[in-house]
Amino acid sequence: MDALELCRQGLEEVASDRRRGASQLARRCLAIIVDYARAYPAKDGHALAEAVQTLALDLRDARPSMAALRNLVDNFLVCLPQVRGQPIELARPAVMRSASEIAEQSRQAVMDASRHAAALIDEGRTVITHSLSSTLLAAFRSLAARRVRAVITESCPLREGLVLAQELSRLGIDTEYITDAQIGLFAAHADLALVGADTLLRDGSAVNKAGTYLLALAAYDAGIPFYVCCESFKFSDLSAGEVTLEQMATSELAAPQLPHVHLRNVYFDITPARLITAVVTEHGVLTSSANRSRCSSPPETGP
Amino acid sequence: MDALELCRQGLEEVASDRRRGASQLARRCLAIIVDYARAYPAKDGHALAEAVQTLALDLRDARPSMAALRNLVDNFLVCLPQVRGQPIELARPAVMRSASEIAEQSRQAVMDASRHAAALIDEGRTVITHSLSSTLLAAFRSLAARRVRAVITESCPLREGLVLAQELSRLGIDTEYITDAQIGLFAAHADLALVGADTLLRDGSAVNKAGTYLLALAAYDAGIPFYVCCESFKFSDLSAGEVTLEQMATSELAAPQLPHVHLRNVYFDITPARLITAVVTEHGVLTSSANRSRCSSPPETGP
């Protein structure tokens, strides 16, 4: 299989990936673009830009619930008009460099957001979370020395919780691993809830793995803060009514096909802004009201 | 294995059963008592009463989260003083009859409660539920002809939802089968939530399979009523702070043992009375306030 075919296969992997979060998948898209730009047999910048743009648009639309993917690819597409007039020996490295730089910005934003999130959590506190998020994992890495405790969920159907359990075990963080159904029981014993997000919507609500909304309800009922931590690349101009919540293969439920019974596997739910205490990005901590008005006013910067 | 040994084995089965609800297990206890009374080699009523009482007390304490078990066995124990003075040929049938009658009362109460619950649900409505309950299943049997729809949950770790799916499929009820994590998504599309209970506490809160509290929170947030249907044998004098929430084997989570990671498998959670629209028993529909004051005032009777 040649390099171009590998890139096309990469697109399919992004579309079907159920384990990686939006940030990781968005950067994976940029890495695929780099590989494609390196391998595509174009005679000039125009031909390269055309080919790369086609792939980039396919990648952008592969995961409609993930704003980061759309935003990072859109940021990349801005470089293309400039390279169209260039000879191929200049255009090729320019395209590759542009994609790499945006991936690096995303990586840095994740680190900065996780650092701001970690600063919210005092020594010895218990953090309850749901699903697996690279931002959250980075926050736990900062927290390992501060003897925080974690409550993590199985996160069915694919059980990303098992991966998070392994990572937290390696970090030496005292962790309770629960079924998704126990979220209510354990939220009552935690000091705060902290989750990642796949997309943050215009109205301040957060799209994340199904079950996140239940954790937010339980946190609210238990009177503990509920923080969403994500880089600002995940902000979307869509509102809750406009977003597509992806449905995945019902075979993941491993349940038999029965007459009159429809298996449902909606991967994401929407946590309304009213249940979110603050959104933590690379810019700092945005309280819920700042979050709601983030389009019209500058965000508060955190610690 | 002789009949007495079988009864002792029955006690262990009741203690470890994860699939049957409180009503079914409570009646199973009474059936074990009938078998034991039939087989126990007593010379008179006194010896029989002693032996049966020992077994009955063990059965009563086998499942501390289930008030029905305690209540039905306590109701049965009332017959024992009377048979102590009887010859064995009168005492034996008296004990067996008493246990059978109480089981029959329980069965009738379940049917009456489910009939009252079914009366709450109009044609074509969508009912969301969690876990498996014999009372609920009886309600769905009454509803099959009325073209209601159901949303049912997997109910991890042991997935009782699969059994419910089979039963509803057989009844021809249009059913959506979801993971527990999707409860929030689907509560928003349902017309009402209806669950069974293992125990109804003095303060009107309900002990049921873990995840029920999350469904109640989601129902409240979605503005749909949340009904608990159970026979009054499940009422307990304990309050939320006094009840034991059983923890089961963590092997049910099928997760690896990792350093610093503690697997937790708490089977039941408590749904506070403030989230319960009404409790439906064999006596009818008790609204939440009536439910809260049920010790001091007569219940409202339903339709």
pLDDT of residue A144: 86
Interval A95-154: pLDDT, tens: 999 999 999 999 999 999 999 999 999 999 999 999 998 899 999 999 988 899 999 999
Q: Which of B77, B68, B55 is nearest to B10 (CA)?
A: B55
User: Which positions in chain B touch A173 (Cβ < 8 Å)?
Assistant: 260
Measured distance CA(B203)–CA(A186) in Å, rounded: 21
DSSP B133: -
> If pLDDT is split at 50, 70 and 90, which confidence band does B303 have?
very low
Measured distance CA(A264)–CA(A135) in Å, rounded: 28
Contact between A205 and A272 (Cβ < 8 Å): yes
> How many angstroms separate the CA of residue B263 from the nearest CA in chain A?
5
Mean pLDDT for the stretch of residues B88-115: 96
Rounded to the nearest 10 degrees, what angle do helices B134-143 and B88-119 cross at?
A: 50
* Residues of chain A by 3-state class (helix, strand, coil), percent to 5: 50, 15, 35
Looking at this protein, which amino acid is placed at residue B162? L
User: Which positions in chain A touch B269 (Cβ < 8 Å)?
Assistant: 182, 184-185
User: Which positions in chain A touch B186 (Cβ < 8 Å)?
Assistant: 264
Range name among A238-247, B79-88, B263-272 with the lowest pLDDT average: A238-247
Beta bridge partners of A150: A127, A175
What ipTM was reported for this prediction?
Answer: 0.89
Instruction: Report yes or no: B178 at the A interface, CB cutoff 8 Å.
Output: yes
Pairing of strands A278-281, A284-287: antiparallel
Q: What is the mean pLDDT of chain B?
A: 91
Phi, psi of B57 (to 5 degrees): -65, -40
Nearest CB to B260; choose among A168, A181, A186: A168
In order, the DSSP letters of B201-248 are -TTS-EEEETTHHHHHHHHHHHT--EEEE--GGGB-S--TTT----B-
A199: left (phi over 0), alpha (psi -120 to 50) or beta: beta
Nearest CB to B182; choose among A165, A210, A255: A210
Q: Which candidate in A178, A189, A213 is best for mutational testing of the B interface (most B CBs within 10 A)? A: A213
Residue B95 in tokens: 């004990």
Instruction: Report yes or no: B41 at the A interface, CB cutoff 8 Å.
Output: no
Contact between B29 and B14 (Cβ < 8 Å): yes
Nearest CB to B211; choose among A181, A260, A261: A181
Catalytic residues of B: 198
Measured distance CA(A303)–CA(A297) in Å, rounded: 19
- Given a cut of 90, whether residue B234 has pLDDT beyond it is yes
Extended beta strands in A167-243, E state: 174-178, 192-195, 199-200, 206-209, 226-229
pLDDT of residue A288: 61
pLDDT of residue B302: 40
- Given a cut of 70, whether residue B293 has pLDDT beyond it is no
Q: Which of residues 212-271 of A touch B (CB under 8 A)?
A: 213-214, 217-218, 221, 245, 253, 255-256, 258-266, 269
- pTM equals 0.89
pLDDT of residue A213: 98
Residue B98 in tokens: 């008493």
- Given a cut of 90, whether residue B102 has pLDDT beyond it is yes
CA-based nearest residue in chain A for residue B275: A221
Contact between B21 and B196 (Cβ < 8 Å): yes
Nearest CB to A176; choose among B156, B177, B262: B262
pLDDT of residue B288: 61
Measured distance CA(B132)–CA(B137) in Å, rounded: 8
The percent of residues in chain B predicted with pLDDT above 70, rounded, is 94
- Given a cut of 80, whether residue B53 has pLDDT beyond it is yes
Phi, psi of A98 (to 5 degrees): -60, -45
pLDDT of residue B3: 77
Residue B123 class from Cβ within 10 Å (0-12 exposed, 13-18 middle, 19+ buried)?
exposed
Instruction: Report yes or no: A173 at the B interface, CB cutoff 8 Å.
Output: yes
A17 part of the active site: no
Looking at this protein, which amino acid is placed at residue B9? Q
pLDDT of residue B98: 97
Mean pLDDT for the stretch of residues B263-288: 94
Nearest CB to A255; choose among B162, B186, B214: B162
In terms of average pLDDT, the best of A8-12, B7-11, B195-199 is B195-199
- Contact at CB, A182 and B221, closer than 8 angstroms: no
pLDDT of residue A49: 97
Rg over alpha carbons for chain A, rounded to the nearest Å, is 20
In order, the DSSP letters of A225-237 are -EEEE--GGGB-S
| Alpha carbons within 13 A on the beta-carbon side of B300 | 14
Contact between B30 and B71 (Cβ < 8 Å): no
Handedness of CA B230, B234, B240, B244 (dihedral sign): negative
Contact between A202 and B289 (Cβ < 8 Å): no
pLDDT of residue B289: 58
| Interacting residues of A207 by C-beta distance below 8 A, sequence separation 6+ | A65, A67, A197, A198, A199, A200, A201, A243, A245, A268, A269, A270
pLDDT of residue A302: 40
pLDDT of residue B8: 85
Interval B151-185: pLDDT, tens: 999 999 999 999 999 999 999 999 999 999 999 99
Query: How would you write the pLDDT of chain A (303 residues) with one tens digit per residue?
Result: 577 888 889 999 999 888 788 888 999 999 999 999 999 999 999 999 999 999 999 999 999 878 899 999 999 999 999 999 999 999 999 999 999 999 999 999 999 999 999 999 999 999 999 999 889 999 999 998 889 999 999 999 999 999 999 999 999 999 999 999 999 999 999 999 999 999 999 999 999 999 999 999 999 999 999 999 999 999 999 999 898 898 999 999 999 999 999 999 999 999 999 999 999 999 999 886 544 444 333 334 443
CA-based nearest residue in chain A for residue B255: A162
User: Which positions in chain B touch A256 (Cβ < 8 Å)?
Assistant: 162
CA-based nearest residue in chain A for residue B150: A261
pLDDT of residue A289: 58
- Contact at CB, B260 and A186, closer than 8 angstroms: no
Cis preceding-peptide flag for A87 (omega within 30 of 0): no
Measured distance CA(B208)–CA(B270) in Å, rounded: 7
